[in-house]
Amino acid sequence: MRRLARWGRAEWGPLYVTVRDRLLERGPWAVPVTLAGVCLTALLQYVQNQPWGFQLVQNVGAVRAQDPLGLALLRTPLSLYVPALDLPVWGALAQILFVFGIAEICLGWSRTLTIAYAATLAGTLYARVGIALGPHAPFGLPASDAQVVDTGPSAAVVGLAVFVAWRYGADVTASAVTAAIVAEVLLKENLAGKEHLAALSAVGVLCLLSAARHRYGGPPLPLPVHRLPGRRAGRGSGFPPIQS
């Protein structure tokens, strides 16, 4: 148990302390963009379940691969907050509150939205490529997927979880999320799973760019110093090793 506890502190300690301290300091005001996203998702869920509101939500936030590219790009930012019709809304709300909240505290709201949008956009654009490749290609999709409504925060959540875990040195967590997505694609080849894989690929590129920027003189993301044995504050933070 002690070994497990030490591993837990090494894996999640800096992340946990960062989130805890920020929430104790500012309370809900530590995650204003996250709370706005939760409220927006709940509102869109309510509206799309009304007879007068379903088509309205579809027109402003539903993305399909068969849509014109320009229209899909306009709808993609809002599609992130439109709950999928075939999934319970509480799942989307919990994902946004938990993962977006941690990311907003650790990365700031602007980086959080940038990574979330990049992951979502990667999935949206991949769907078009996959359909063009056809169902028999390794990463191809059947033509019928062009009509599938593609909404929800899942691709953004996957991307943010991996980026934050990587940024704070939680390598096992980042690897576990990646392995889960790969297993999802292998066990159940569907549009959502392959879009999640595309989102992971996009975030992997962002991780590489971030690492290169820090290595060659760019300003690092601000990370706090915590007194955890044998750990640094985070990748590329510029802080000395933490001593207990």
Per-residue pLDDT of the chain (244 residues; tens, 9 = 90+): 888 888 888 899 999 999 999 999 999 999 999 999 999 999 999 999 999 999 999 999 999 999 999 999 999 999 999 999 888 999 999 999 999 999 999 999 999 999 999 999 999 999 999 999 998 888 899 999 999 999 999 999 999 999 999 999 999 999 999 999 999 888 887 899 999 999 999 999 999 998 888 777 655 555 544 444 444 445 544 333 333 3
| 222 belongs to a structural domain | no
Half-sphere exposure of 67 (CA within 13 A, CB side): 21
The whole-number pLDDT of residue 7 equals: 87
229 is a domain residue: no
Q: Give the Cα separation of 226 and 204 in Å (integer).
A: 26
Is position 230 within any domain? Answer: no
Q: Does some domain include residue 244?
A: no
Strand partners, 150: 63
Nearest-angstrom CA–CA distance, 176 and 12: 14
Measured CA to CA, the distance from residue 66 to residue 43 in angstroms comes to 26
Nearest Cα residue to 15 out of 156, 155, 157, 174: 174
At residue 229, the pLDDT reads 41
Using CA atoms, how far apart are residues 15 and 70, in angstroms rounded to an integer? 38
pLDDT at 219: 56
| Count of domains forming the chain | 1
Residue 182 within a domain: yes
Please state the pTM of the whole predicted model: 0.87
Which residue range is the domain that position 67 belongs to?
2-215
Domain containing 147 — which CATH number?
1.20.1540.10
Q: What is the pLDDT of residue 154?
A: 94
According to the model, what pLDDT value does residue 113 have?
96
**DSSP code per residue over 8-74:** HHHHHHHHHHHHHHHHHHHGGGG-HHHHHHHHHHHHHHHHHTSTTTHHHHHHHH-B-TTS-HHHHHH
Instruction: Tell me whether residue 243 is in a domain.
Output: no
Residue 38 lies in a domain: yes
Task: Flag whether 133 is in a domain.
Answer: yes
